[in-house]
Structure 1
Amino acid sequence: MILVLAGTLEGRDTAALLQQAGFPVTASVVTGYGCDLLQKQGLNRILTGVLDEAALTAILQQGVRLLVDATHPFAALASHTAMAAARVTGVPYLRLERPAAELPVHPMVYRAADLESAVSQALSLGKVLFSTLGSKSLPPLLTAASQAGVKVIVRVLPDSGVIRRCLELGLTPGEIIALQGPCSMELNKAFYRHYQAEVVLTKDSGSTGGVAEKVAAAVEAGIPVVVWQRPKIYYPLVFHKPEEILAIALNM
């Protein structure tokens, strides 16, 4: 069996490609929304929920011959957990990593090494902040924004649990955009204009995450944009295309 940590578009595509090639595949995702997307791609075996190292190790010991880590570039804990479980069990580990975005060098484009500095920078640049960081980054962002008197508009995944979390954190329905990306530059610009954004806060989720379009829309609209750079993680083997993972599997 091949286990694919498939919380991204390329992860879902990889799991589907391996299954179509005749491999027994189990795909793992955190949310019910991710499970729904995998089911639409025809995956037969899906695990839903967060896997800690002990749980993942137990799964790998059940006849898994290859572990494919196609988690989000910012899911550092998930990747570290996967590598640790692979080391313990001796299961080969492959990282499927979407390439980083090529962002323009422009006076309106700011780069930040971590979440804290990204939030701090963005809050200094405007009083209406449009965030596409995702729901997991909301607690520190909303706390800091409240203290700074900055209004926050968030774009998050259209998952009931995510929306409920946003509401629990104090956001109103009018401050939440539940939408599966990526979006075109024109749509991003329309959102910024509609919500009267004064600063955009995003992260380098790569071309699949639509970061280039978010940044281009902000630059064209004359709005400063702060980009949280992805964490630097050492992976033993990194690939960028589902077809490369399939080629490895076929030769094992």
Structure 2
Amino acid sequence: MPGSAETFLVLGGTAEANRLVAALRAARPDARIVLSLAGRTTTPVLPADCAIRVGGFGGSDGLAAYLTQESVTCLLDATHPFAAGISRNAARAAEVAGTRRIALVRPPWVAEAGDRWTSVACLAGARDALPANARPFLALGRQHLSPFAARPDLRPVVRMIEEPEPPLAFPAEIVLARPSADVADEAALLARLAVTHLVCRNSGGSASFAKIAAARELGLPVIMIDRPPEPAPPVVRTVEEMIAAIAP
């Protein structure tokens, strides 16, 4: 329950959010920390020593009400760089509730020598950028796959943590696994599956970069979906910067 101690609400679902909770607990041992998750994954990786809240708030108004009711001291937005709607709601809710807010946005990936990137603005652009009869590895998450149903010529591969429910709207080879941080493992997977293209969003960060490095190693073209605009400031780039920003 709310009390006199500081209360931090962390909007999570990312590796950075989990690290932030751990760093926040070390920096503020007496604080109340609540980690909010959207609930898309039934078996998420969770940090220790915090309260977990699963599910939406009901838009910016619902979040503003939660911030007030729970006496939240600071709202820390550590959501995915493509969760633009959530970040907009967080900014509006914090303004309405008069709660301090800081966004943690990891830097995007930048193409290097050997990369064969085609940058596109959206999922439909990624779909249309694939040549006929391609076998793309769709590293997108199940909620972002529906546009590819319009390309029956493709022979896609999809990696998921859990079996899709309901089933996908188009035929695809499904790999049930979490992404590997090992470039050799990712390269072996792409080669074994005879993948011709990698399709992904420019999420940035190290947690899922191995597939990008693997595509470079194999000389595979990458269809890279550009990020939406960043959240309103203040914005930090690392967990360490976030902890420094909230220092008393």
TM-score, normalised relative to structure 1 = 0.85
Matches of 1:36 and 1:217 in 2, distance apart? 25
Cα separation, 1, equivalents of 2:25 and 2:64? 22
Displacement, 1:139? Answer: 1.0
In structure 2, what residue type is equivalent to 1:167? Answer: P
Contact 2:118–2:222 at 8 Å: present in 1 too? yes
- C-alpha distance in structure 1 between counterparts of 2:207 and 2:226, whole Å: 13
Could you give the per-residue CA deviations for residues 206-225 of structure 1, whole angstroms, max 9, x where no partner exists? 133423x3233223323211
Which of residues 23, 46, 49 in structure 1 aligns to 2:55? Answer: 49
Alignment match, 2:67: 60
- Provide the rounded CA distance (Å) in 1 between the counterparts of 2:243 and 2:230: 23
Gaps of 5+ in 1: none
The residue aligned with 1:155 is 159
- Alpha-carbon separation, structure 1, partners of 2:9 and 2:21: 8
**What does residue 3 of structure 2 align with?**
none
Alignment of 1:199-210 (within 5 A): 199-210=197-208
Q: 1:120 to 1:54 in 2, by over 3 A?
A: same
Cα RMSD after superposing both structures: 2.2
Provide the identity percentage: 28
In the comparison of the two structures, how many residue pairs are matched?
Answer: 238
On the 8 A contact 1:29/1:35 being kept in 2, the answer is no
Bigger fraction of residues in helix: 1
Consecutive aligned runs of 4 or more in structure 1 exceeding 6 Å deviation: none
What secondary structure does 1:37 align onto? coil
Q: Which amino acid aligns with 1:95?
A: A
Matched residue SS, 1:3: strand
Q: Which residue does 1:70 correspond to in 2?
A: 78
Letter in 2 for 1:131: L
1:1-252 to structure 2, matched below 5 A, reads: 1-20=7-26, 21-22=28-29, 23-31=31-39, 33=41, 36-38=44-46, 41-51=47-57, 52-62=59-69, 63-104=71-112, 106=114, 108-121=116-129, 123-124=130-131, 126-141=133-148, 143-146=149-152, 149-156=153-160, 158-159=161-162, 163-165=163-165, 167-171=167-171, 175-211=173-209, 213-251=210-248
Cα distance in 2 for partners of 1:181, 1:166 equals 22
Q: Distance in 1 between matches of 2:165 and 2:156?
A: 15
d(CA) in 2 for partners of 1:206, 1:137: 17
